[in-house]
Amino acid sequence: MKATAIVTGATGGIGRAIVGRLVQAGFPVIALGRKAAALSTLGEETGCGTLALDIGDAAATEAALAGIDADVLVHAAGLLGPQHPLYETPDDLAARLVCVNILGTLNVLRAVVPAMRRRDRGTIMLLGSICGTAPGTGPALYSATKAAMHSMAANLRYDLRGSSLRVGEILLGRVRTGIHEQLARSEEFYDGYECLLPENVADTVLHIIGSPPSVDLSTIEMMPTRQTVGGSHFSKQ
């Protein structure tokens, strides 16, 4: 049997696609998300295990994942939020973005990585965004949280130097997932554009996990063909 995989953000478009691909490939999968009903449906459709969990809650995350020996972690959870200039971001939105996108990432890593380190095996995939490296490509505070993830991925790989653990980050361009509805104008982001699909991301994740143990695809910028490197320009068809 293949190694157990944990997938966060499993009820989102990308997370669902990753869970489906991993199950098809023979991985036992534990899908994490906040929406219990959507998780239940996902479990029925794919046969994955499920855990309803808010990763922003450190104690709950530690308790839920205690005793689970996973050799694959795909961290797809994240909150986009509406478009605001940095200096006009409301307090409640700012707190939630930091809680989910930064502290949530840290909480999951603290709950999963130590056991991987003890066994000296594991693949950790963080799904980031071009917004974290290119100003103006996303909401300001969301972009800052993705910049924090970009730094965490690099520093985690440094922390694990000398081990057999692999750390990879995919900096995603525009993916047609529906998450842009949080910006209240998703049609501007999809109509006329040939975006990435969640299934494209899932295939890439599977390729990374399936690479030889001596190969670490540490940072990948995954873009639609018509979106420029860095994501600053995206031409319509």
At 186, the pLDDT band (50, 70, 90 cuts) reads low
Our answer to whether residue 142 is catalytic in this structure is yes
List the single range of 26-35, 185-194, 205-214 with lowest mean pLDDT. Answer: 185-194
Has residue 146 got a pLDDT over 70?
yes
Tell me, what's the pLDDT at 70?
A: 96
The CA distance from 235 to 220, in Å, is: 21
Q: What is the mean pLDDT of the chain?
A: 92
Has residue 19 got a pLDDT over 70?
yes
Tell me, what's the pLDDT at 182?
A: 52
Tell me, what's the pLDDT at 38?
A: 95
For the chain, give every domain's residue range.
Answer: 5-222
The CA distance from 128 to 220, in Å, is: 10
The domain 5-222 is placed in CATH, from the list 3.50.50.60, 1.10.3720.10, 3.30.70.3270, 3.40.50.720, at 3.40.50.720
At 152, the pLDDT band (50, 70, 90 cuts) reads very high
Instruction: Tell me if residue 104 falls in helix, strand or coil.
Output: helix
At 181, the pLDDT band (50, 70, 90 cuts) reads low
H or E, element range at 8: strand 5-8
Has residue 55 got a pLDDT over 70?
yes
Average pLDDT rounded to a whole number, residues 85-108? 96
Tell me, what's the pLDDT at 107?
A: 98
At 68, the pLDDT band (50, 70, 90 cuts) reads very high
* Lookup: tokens for 189: 């982001």
Tell me, what's the pLDDT at 6?
A: 98
Q: Which of 142, 158, 190, 193 is catalytic?
A: 142
Average pLDDT rounded to a whole number, residues 34-38? 94
H or E, element range at 30: strand 29-33
The CA distance from 134 to 125, in Å, is: 21
Helix pair angle (104-119, 58-65), 10° resolution: 30
